[in-house]
Amino acid sequence: MNIQTLLLLVGLLLPQLSLADGPPKQNNFPDGVSSQSLGADLWREVRQRDLQSSGVSQVKGVDSGILINAHGDQWARFRTSKLTTYGSIALAAMFGLVFLFYVIRGKIGIEGGFSGNMVQRFTDYQRIAHWTLAIVFLFLAITGLILLLGRPLLIPLFGKGVFSILASASKEGHNLFGPLFLVSLLMMLFSYVSRNIYEKGDLTWLLRLGGSIGDGHVSTGYFNMGEKIWYWIVILIGLVVALSGLILVSPNFGQGRVIMELSHITHTIGALALIVFSVAHIYLGWIGSEGAMEGMKTGYVDASWADAHHDRWGKECRDQGLVISAEEYARLQGKNPAVEVATEQGK
């Protein structure tokens, strides 16, 4: 063995021999930082210090001067614990209340039955605005609930692989159709706003809960106070949900992480509120009130339904000669009037 080979072996072995005795002992670390876990302890000290959390960086961009976002963990814990827990409880409670109301009250019928005479309640454009908003909202509600509540509920049923595909598709679809919600919301705003202004008698309806308190029917116009409250809930909370959603999917606005986190919380709470209240709305419009769905299907409602639920508006329609016969209504729907009348009489 020549001298060059010997020196090479010594150079390779010396570092290994020094590491065998453990990491080098150093005593010049900051308080609370040990050499055994330098990275974790160092970042813990940075996070828990009382100094400012932002500094100066040569990298130019949003939040580029912030070393650690101290609100990130708070937002994550709030989302995975409180939002999911309270959101699930609110949804379950509303479904329970609706079911209980159906068991106790049942479907709200028309005393004396339907007359067969019809009156136009909604124009074609108003129905298009309503169904556009309804369809977009239902899609966004389903995909949003999958993203928020799907992990604990769907993974046990379908497994992580299927849930991963479903969650990814929900995220892309939610982001893609989200802006349509704002468009349909504005359509709804301008289509119905003139009918949802407070008028005399609305406060009485509210205090008597639509006739549930006291005796007798509460007189109402085109929309009752309950419907007006629901309309403004949809418009106002819907605008908050739509605008916060745009902030979340459009980082080029220049917002930082804290604004994104607050927008996410606002977006989720507002969306959950709309979903919970929409359960009651869908029940009353589809199942709970006999004859109500016909208005959104064809634009027309039975004159007896109008008198029972919106008597002042029903009287206006009669006074203005807007009530049409069953034969004329069938003709407008492109049906055979004789067949339709015979069908109604046979029921």
Is this model's pTM higher than 0.85 or not? Answer: no
52 band by pLDDT with thresholds 50, 70 and 90? low
Q: In the predicted model, is pLDDT for residue 345 greater than 50? A: no
Q: In the predicted model, is pLDDT for residue 241 greater than 80? A: yes
Q: State which H helix or E strand residue 249 sits in.
A: helix 225-249
Contact 291, 113 (CB under 8 A): no
Q: In the predicted model, is pLDDT for residue 221 greater than 60? A: yes
Q: In the predicted model, is pLDDT for residue 339 greater than 60? A: no
In whole angstroms, give the CA distance from residue 153 to residue 171.
17
Please report, in angstroms and rounded to a whole number, the separation of the first and last CA atoms in the chain. 112
- What is the rounded average pLDDT of the residues 221-235? 95
Total residue length of the chain: 347
In whole angstroms, give the CA distance from residue 58 to residue 81.
37
- What is the rounded average pLDDT of the residues 168-182? 95
CA dihedral of residues 23, 26, 29, 35 (deg, nearest 10): 10
Q: Which of 131, 108, 138, 157 is nearest to 274 (CA)?
A: 138
Q: State which H helix or E strand residue 119 sits in.
A: strand 118-120
Q: In the predicted model, is pLDDT for residue 342 greater than 50? A: no
Q: In the predicted model, is pLDDT for residue 261 greater than 70? A: yes
347 band by pLDDT with thresholds 50, 70 and 90? very low
Q: In the predicted model, is pLDDT for residue 30 greater than 60? A: no
How many CA atoms within 13 Å lie on the side-chain side of 70? 11
Q: Span 72-106+123-298: which CATH code?
A: 1.20.950.20
Task: For residue 215, give the amino acid letter.
Answer: D
Please tell me which residue, 152 or 257, carries the higher pLDDT value: 152
Q: For residue 289, give every residue at least 6 positions away whose Cβ sits within 8 Å of its Cβ, in sequence order, or none.
A: 107, 108, 309
Convert the pLDDT of each residue in 64-92 to its tens digit: 667 676 677 778 888 888 888 999 999 99
- What is the rounded average pLDDT of the residues 232-237? 96
